[in-house]
Structure 1
Amino acid sequence: MEWYEINLDSQKVLKKIIKKNPEIIPLQSVLVAKELKETTKLLETSIVELNDLTVVSLVSIFEQTLIGHLKNLIYSQFEPKNELNKRISDYTIEHAERGRFTEIIELFKPQVDSELIGMVKQVYTYRNWVAHGKLGDAPAKIDPISAYERLSDFLNKVL
């Protein structure tokens, strides 16, 4: 998450610099032709977008990690010794990859407490809202640090 923190800090530093000394904006910057108020608003918007896209990215990494773990579990239980085992494994994995991810999360209830599962589902709900254009009512806002902690805690319990 260091990359995220560096980006966020850079945005905040730039905002402070521009407020104190706007004439130092480089000529090739998209901000050079903007008024201070507009520049400040654009920077605030970019921070919101950075946060939202970071949550989307974290959930994508989480999904791939969990699907990979699920594949390993399935293949260890159904070694493709025969055609039936191979077909069962392939079918299960294909449906896991195309299914509702919140249902996959539920599969791990024996290893993960319900509270953490609920918190991961909140991250997932927020990610879906962002990824699908932020339409409708906004779910509870999830910041990238909280998302990272929740998703990491979940993975640490199942991997």
Structure 2
Amino acid sequence: MNSNPLPQMLLVYKVTRDSFRIAERAIQTKDPKAMQRLLQRTVVENQNITDAKSMIQKSIKESDTLFVLNMWATFERFLRDDLQMRGRLLLGNQPPALGHSIYKHFEKEVEFWKPVEILDFLKDSLFQSQTALIGQAKQILAYRDWVAHGKNPKNPPSTDMKPLAAYNTLNKIVETLLCYPPSSALK
């Protein structure tokens, strides 16, 4: 059975954010010896406080965008794996050779389905009463596409996606899917 990969990603995100907080505190340390020890062998070691703060703030923003991108990629992999497990029902078709052939094709083709189409059929089935959730997932996908394709300033996303908001949305979808595990009849 599939398990939810997103909580581990949230933990990594929180540790990263804590690391940025520690770096910000280190550059503001008043004791010069302590500051030198804390910052040795770092990029900000020889920067003035203003430049170091600016570098850290830019790094936080870039890290946030990359976490959203990675969170989407992990979510999408979960969806494809989940669909492939659900498709195992095809193995029960008669004659068995036909069922296996159909499943082999299905399993391969799931890898090429467009994410927006997967979200659409989830919206039309399991999430009929939560269409806004799927809409939010589509916004995350649009943001992911923007980041993954170079952040074109001429075509920015409609929303500035935050990692925690992306996590909350995608996690609700994963948790809902996990409430309805694939049939265990054909394992």
TM-score, with length taken from structure 1: 0.88
**Alignment partner, residue 147 of structure 1:** 166
CA RMSD, 1 decimal: 2.0
Matches of 2:16 and 2:165, distance apart in 1: 17
**Alignment partner, residue 45 of structure 1:** 58
**Alignment partner, residue 103 of structure 1:** 117
Unpaired stretches in structure 1, ≥5 consecutive residues: none
Unpaired stretches in structure 2, ≥5 consecutive residues: 1-9, 179-187
Matches of 1:28 and 1:155, distance apart in 2: 41
**Alignment partner, residue 34 of structure 1:** 47
Query: Size of the alignment, in residue pairs?
Result: 159
RCO higher in structure (CA 8 A, sep ≥6): 2
**Alignment partner, residue 133 of structure 2:** 116
Q: 1:68-116 CA deviation, whole Å, 9 max, x = no partner?
A: 1101111123437534333322333323212211101112121112111
1:7-22 matches, cutoff 5 A: 7-21=16-30
Matches of 1:147 and 1:22, distance apart in 2: 39
Matches of 1:87 and 1:156, distance apart in 2: 31
8 A contact 2:137–2:170 mirrored in 1: yes
**Alignment partner, residue 137 of structure 1:** 155
Letter in 1 for 2:88: Y
Matches of 1:101 and 1:40, distance apart in 2: 38
Letter in 1 for 2:176: K
TM-score, with length taken from structure 2: 0.76
SS at match of 1:6: helix
